[in-house]
Structure formats: C-alpha cells, structure tokens
Structure 1
Amino acid sequence: MFLGHFAVALAAKRAVPATSLGTLVLAAQLADLAWPALLLAGVETVRIQVGATTVTPLLFDHYPWSHSLATLVLAGLVLGGCHFLWRRRPRDAFVLALLVPSHWLLDWVVHVPDLPWTPAPGSPLAGLGLWNSMPASLAIELGLLALGALMYLRISRARDRIGNWSMAVLLAFLVLVYAGNVLGPPPPGIGALAAVGLAQWLLVAWAAWADAHRRVRGSAL
C-alpha cells in the first residue's frame, strides 16, 4: 500500500483541521518512514525477487519493528501523547494515535501474509494478498486516494496561488511514483530501495508546505 496511506491522512484533515497535513502524513506513513533506516542498519531485511507478487517484487522477510501491529500501536500512543503535550488538543492527539496503526491495517489488505502482529520471534503473520491481483490493487489504491483527496479539497481552499497548484502537483506526483513502482523495473538493489524510501520524508515536508497555503473553509485563519 502506498497511495492509501496518503489518502487516510488527507481524509483525517476533516476530523482535525487544525493539524498540519504534514503531521497527518507523518503519522500515517511512520512505518514506511522508519523502515529504510532500519533496513540500512541491518535490523530489518527484504529481498528483491521478480514475480514475488503481481504488484511488487519485494519479499519482506523481517520487519518486526517498523511493521508489527504492536509496535505501531505503541508508536501511535507515543506520537499522540507528544502532540497532546505540545498542542493540548485531545482530539488531534487521538486521531494521530489511530493513524499510525492504520498503516498496518491498510497493508494487511494488500500484503501477502508477512505482517507480524508483534515484534516477538515467531509472531503470527497476516496479509490478505491483494497484491496478487493488479486490477484490484490499482482500484483500491487509486480509489482511496481519490476519496481522500476529495474529502480534503471539500473542506479546504487555497490562500494563494501556491495553495492552488501545490496540492494538485503533490497528488499527481504521488500517482506517478506509484505508477513507477508498479509498472517500472525492480529496484537495482537494497541500498537504492532504502534511499528512495528515505526520500519519502520530503513528501511529509511537501504536504506540510502545501497545506500551509490552504485554509479550512469557513475559517478566517
């Protein structure tokens, strides 16, 4: 899952309009933002095998810290707690705490059974395997992004010209990245895969910047 995580962040803006979209993307994508660093450190492992599934050539052998449900629930509580101490907005903190483990739930739909429930050795693995169907995977990813973007755009409006085009370009870029991942060649190596994964932090900054040039409808701010 890639576009779906951005979709839930966009949709969540409706529930917590005072929270930056960048923060919402950070929460929804926290697992994938942490994973490349753990991969480079040798803490977690992945293999590139063409034909592993119809959609992705990646075999996720070991990623219990970035992608187990238990660690993501804990990470969500930590992120939500920190946000509450900083902003003193219980609703926003609660939504952030939910967004972090939402990553596991969305991945569960598309991954083959490789998602651990806990980081403990021998933890059961979960996954419905939608990645074995290209049409179904495309439908759910693009459908979720369209729905999330519609919800975001319906409750916000541009402050200036940047607000008009920055979000549109971001959404188009996300679709292009997804198309490249699905239709392009496999990564040349694990190092290149991790480097691209780390570059996702730029998408967090992009989302925050684009959102700063928009305002919630009906708000004077």
Structure 2
Amino acid sequence: MFVGHYAAAFAAKSVEPRAPLWTYVAAAQLIDIGWSGLILAGVERMHMDASLPGSALVLEHMPYTHSLPGSLIWSLGAAILARLVLRLPWRAALFIGLTVFSHWLGDLLVHRPDLELWFGGQKVGFAFWNYPVPEEALEMGLLAVAGAAWAWRRGAAGQSVGPALLFLGFLVILQIVGLVLPGGGAPSSFAMTALAAYLVATFLAWLTERGDATS
C-alpha cells in the first residue's frame, strides 16, 4: 500500500480537524519515513524482485518499524509529541497516534508475510499485493472516499475545495508514477525516493492549509 495510507489522514482530519493536515499526512507514513531512514542506515533490510506480482518489495528485516510492537511504539511516541511539542488537544494527539497505527493495519492487508507480531516472532501479512488490480482499486477507493469526506468538510467550513482537489490529484499522480517505475534498483535508491515522496507530500499538505490560516 502506498497512497492508500493517506486515506487514514483524510478520515482523521474529517473527524478531528483541530490537528493540521500535515501532521496527519506525516503520521500516515511515519512508519515508512522511519523505515526509509533505517534502510539507508543499514539497520533494516530489503531488496527488490521485479518478478513478483504487484509490489516488487521483498522486506527481509524491519522489526523496529513494521513489527506490531514497533508500530505501537511509533504510534504512542507520535501522540505524545503531538501533545507536548505541537500543543495539540489530547483528542487530536490521539487521532494522530491512531493514524500512525493505521499504517500497520493497511500493511497487514497488502504485505506478504513480513510483519512481525513481536520482536523476532511470527511474520504475518494477507498478501493482497499478489492481486495487483483489486489491490490498486482498494487503494484508490479508500483515497477517494476519505478524500471526498475531507473535501466536503472543508466546503462545509467555508474553505475552498480547490486546494483539496489539487492535493488529491498529486497523490493520484504519485501512485501512477510508482506503478510505472521499474521494479529493480538498489535498496538505498528506493529508500531515498520513497523518503523524498513522503516529505514532499507532507510539505504540500502544509501548503494546502496555508491559505486557510491567512484568509
């Protein structure tokens, strides 16, 4: 799952709008942001296999980001930072933590068995990646439904829907680019590209709401 993760960000923003959109967007991919950094550092490991259906990722070792306890730690840490550093209300901080954890649940659905239930323990994954067409339909469907709810919430609050549509369009383009890119390459190159995509998406989410704050 790639941009499908952002559906959780839009859903959370629709239900609890007091947190900035960029915090939810960063939260939706926080686990993969950490994963990219640990891949670059050589702490976690992966390689690419272009012969696989759907995603070419072979995720060999990623206990610190994608294990169940690791994901819970990232989620709790994000909620605490949102409260103490960003001074968000506790309810908004809780939704940020839940958005972080939603990443693991989405990965559980699509990953092949590579998610540890405990550190060094059994690996799970329902392998929806092996069915590329319905998996892509699921991602885009989740994004469309949650994105529509967020855009409606903006309109109901008297905010422009245009920036929301532009941001959603960017995510759709990002998904298409990810589909057409070749499946091979060095892990470090993939991690750098993925990290750049996550950070650009976070910046554009901030930019999307910048006009709201000044209007």
- Alignment map for 1:63-102 (pairs within 5 Å): 63-85=62-84, 86-102=86-102
> Under a length normalisation based on structure 1, what TM-score does the superposition of the two structures give?
0.88
Q: Which is worse superposed, 205-214 or 191-200?
A: 205-214
CA deviations over 1:29-70 (Å, ceiling 9, x no partner): 101111111001100111111122x11111000111111121
Q: Determine which of 164, 168, 173 is the counterpart of 1:167.
A: 164
Q: Which segments of structure 1 move beyond 6 Å, counting only runs of 4 or more?
A: none
Structure 2 residue 34 is the aligned partner of structure 1 residue 18? no
Q: 1:152 is matched by which residue type in structure 2?
A: W
Structure 2 residue 173 is the aligned partner of structure 1 residue 179? no
Q: 1:2 is matched by which residue type in structure 2?
A: F
- Counterpart-to-counterpart distance in 2, 1:132 and 1:138: 11
Instruction: Work out whether residues 75 and 100 of structure 2, in 8 Å CA contact, stay in contact via their aligned partners in 1.
Output: yes
| Pair 1:185–1:47, CA change in 2 (3 A) | same
Structure 2 residue 5 is the aligned partner of structure 1 residue 8? no
**Secondary structure of residue in 1 paired with 2:147:** helix
**Secondary structure of residue in 1 paired with 2:47:** strand
- Counterpart-to-counterpart distance in 2, 1:42 and 1:3: 25
- Counterpart-to-counterpart distance in 1, 2:54 and 2:130: 7
- Compute the RMSD of aligned alpha carbons: 2.0
**Secondary structure of residue in 1 paired with 2:15:** coil
- Counterpart-to-counterpart distance in 1, 2:126 and 2:17: 33
In the other structure, the counterpart of 2:186 is 189
1:159: Cα distance to partner? 7.5
Instruction: Work out whether residues 76 and 98 of structure 1, in 8 Å CA contact, stay in contact via their aligned partners in 2.
Output: yes
Structure 2 residue 104 is the aligned partner of structure 1 residue 107? no
Instruction: Work out whether residues 49 and 184 of structure 2, in 8 Å CA contact, stay in contact via their aligned partners in 1.
Output: no
- Counterpart-to-counterpart distance in 2, 1:124 and 1:178: 30
| Pair 1:136–1:173, CA change in 2 (3 A) | same
Q: 1:181 is matched by which residue type in structure 2?
A: G
Q: 1:108 is matched by which residue type in structure 2?
A: L
Structure 2: tracts of 5 or more residues without a match: none
Instruction: Work out whether residues 159 and 213 of structure 1, in 8 Å CA contact, stay in contact via their aligned partners in 2.
Output: no
- Counterpart-to-counterpart distance in 1, 2:24 and 2:88: 16
Q: 1:63 is matched by which residue type in structure 2?
A: M
| Pair 1:148–1:79, CA change in 2 (3 A) | same
- Counterpart-to-counterpart distance in 1, 2:58 and 2:50: 9
1:187: Cα distance to partner? 4.1
Q: 1:67 is matched by which residue type in structure 2?
A: H
- Counterpart-to-counterpart distance in 2, 1:151 and 1:88: 22
> Under a length normalisation based on structure 2, what TM-score does the superposition of the two structures give?
0.90
- Counterpart-to-counterpart distance in 2, 1:150 and 1:214: 18
Structure 1: tracts of 5 or more residues without a match: 216-220
- Counterpart-to-counterpart distance in 2, 1:184 and 1:74: 32
Task: Compare the two structures and name the one with the higher helix fraction.
Answer: 2
| Pair 1:131–1:166, CA change in 2 (3 A) | same
1:165: Cα distance to partner? 4.2
- Counterpart-to-counterpart distance in 1, 2:21 and 2:59: 29
Percentage of identical aligned residues: 32
- Counterpart-to-counterpart distance in 2, 1:194 and 1:159: 39
